[in-house]
Structure 1
Amino acid sequence: MTDTDRAKLRSSLLARRSAFVAGLPPSVRTLAFRALPSPVLARMPPGSRVAIYRAMGSEAPTEALIDFLHERGFKLCLPRLGKTTAEDMEFADWSPDDILVPGQLRIPQPAPQAATVTPDVVLTPLVGFDPALNRIGHGAGYYDRAFAKLPNALRIGMAWSCQMVDALPIQPWDVPLHMLFTEQSVIEGEAA
């Protein structure tokens, strides 16, 4: 699959996700992703450091999960991008009371003085996924590079059910997830 084909697939999946979320009743949007499903929570050691993201647009929402994790004593961190697109993403210590600053692409992130940390679990956003737990993101490769540097971290995707496709084109640098959950189900991979 060419880069152009991957870009078209991304565009199609983003449009599908946006339409799906726009069509959800407000009650479903409010209740979805409020807590971690028990199979996911069972895989996360108590007190472990969890990388989570601040949802934007039609991404699977994280606000309630941030509170859920914080209240249960998990240490949180957020992705922090470098100053240029060539720099990799790191994870910075963060708690819900900490102020966020605009980062690259205007994405809110922890301040530069927040300590860089190594997460035990990475809850990751995505554009699409398949039953083999391959994921496609926005195309910059930040999460794939982070996963390669964190081989022992539990990789968990969060997505709406409409983001699933039969199969994704895989690149040599793509790193599959260990598990994924949607508003409807939990999918565990062989590595899980």
Structure 2
Amino acid sequence: MVAPHTPPPCNDPPDVAARKKDLRVHCMAALRAREVTRDQGIIHNLERLLHRSAGPVACVWPLPHEVDLRPLCHKLAEWGIQVALPQTPPRGTPLVFRQWHPGSTMLTGRFGTHYPDGPVMEPDLVLVPLLGFDRAGHRLGYGGGYYDRTLAALPHATSIGYAPSTQEVGHLPCGPYDQPLSCIVTEKEVIRFD
């Protein structure tokens, strides 16, 4: 994926940034403390949502504390759906998606991430890991702005956030560069937004 333009910096106003920072501490603790058995419900709901997907789907190779989407990656490949995984570029730029298949060689990326040694591709659908979310469709990530820049560079892609239901908060502050999601998937439900 190559962005047609350079998206603006994803800097939040100081008050929004401070509130997000506090919420990240709370949400990270909740994510680490979750019952990992919830993750299977998230995978199941994502499978139901994606089983008719036609175009490439961007998944995520998990960090140790994240929901493990590797079973979903394998299921999508079984169904003949192309899978892409993100390579994390230098800060300030969108993610680069590389084609993955079950036999792909995985390379070590930034921040402990892994990505396939495959060709660059542009996904039609992007799965977005969430630290937190609210019922208005706001999401909380790790704070690097990678997914905001990526979604801004892929305006026609469907974006689906996923997280355990324990990550829901009453209200998340929203910055000027936060990108909306098409829906959020938990182990309990699929929350759709217009």
* TM-score between the two structures when normalised by the length of structure 1: 0.85
Q: How many Å apart are 1:87 and its aligned residue?
A: 3.8
1:78 partnered with 2:85: yes
Per the alignment, residue 147 of structure 2 pairs with 143
Q: How many Å apart are 1:45 and its aligned residue?
A: 3.3
2:130 to 119, 126, 131: 126
1:106 partnered with 2:106: no
Per the alignment, residue 95 of structure 2 pairs with 89
Counterparts in 2 of 1:9-28, with a 5 A limit? Answer: 9-21=23-35, 28=37
Q: Aligned Cα RMSD in Å?
A: 1.9
CA distance in 1, matches of 2:162, 2:44: 12
CA distance in 2, matches of 1:45, 1:119: 11
CA distance in 2, matches of 1:179, 1:86: 25
Quote the sequence identity (%).
Answer: 32
Please say if residues 33 and 64 of structure 1, whose CA atoms lie closer than 8 Å, have aligned partners that are also in contact. no
Per the alignment, residue 41 of structure 2 pairs with 32
Please say if residues 161 and 181 of structure 2, whose CA atoms lie closer than 8 Å, have aligned partners that are also in contact. yes
CA distance in 2, matches of 1:165, 1:29: 17
SS at match of 1:187: strand
User: Which 5+ residue runs of structure 1 have no aligned equivalent?
Assistant: none
Which stretch has the larger CA shift, 56-65 or 69-78? 56-65
Q: How many Å apart are 1:180 and its aligned residue?
A: 1.2
CA distance in 1, matches of 2:93, 2:152: 15
Change (3 A) 1:110 1:50: same
Q: How many Å apart are 1:3 and its aligned residue?
A: 2.3
CA distance in 1, matches of 2:103, 2:48: 28
CA distance in 1, matches of 2:107, 2:48: 34
SS at match of 2:34: helix
SS at match of 1:32: helix
SS at match of 1:4: helix
CA distance in 1, matches of 2:45, 2:188: 12
Please say if residues 39 and 68 of structure 2, whose CA atoms lie closer than 8 Å, have aligned partners that are also in contact. no
* TM-score between the two structures when normalised by the length of structure 2: 0.85
Aligned residue type for 2:53:
P
1:152 to 153, 156, 162: 156
SS at match of 1:64: helix
Give the number of aligned pairs. 180
Q: How many Å apart are 1:40 and its aligned residue?
A: 2.0
Please say if residues 123 and 157 of structure 1, whose CA atoms lie closer than 8 Å, have aligned partners that are also in contact. yes
2:174 to 165, 170, 177: 170
Residues 20-67 of structure 1 deviation map (CA, whole Å, 9 limit, x = unaligned)? 23xx5xxx357333434576237x533x10000012223222021111
User: Which 5+ residue runs of structure 2 have no aligned equivalent?
Assistant: 1-14
CA distance in 2, matches of 1:70, 1:39: 15
1:61 to 56, 59, 68: 68
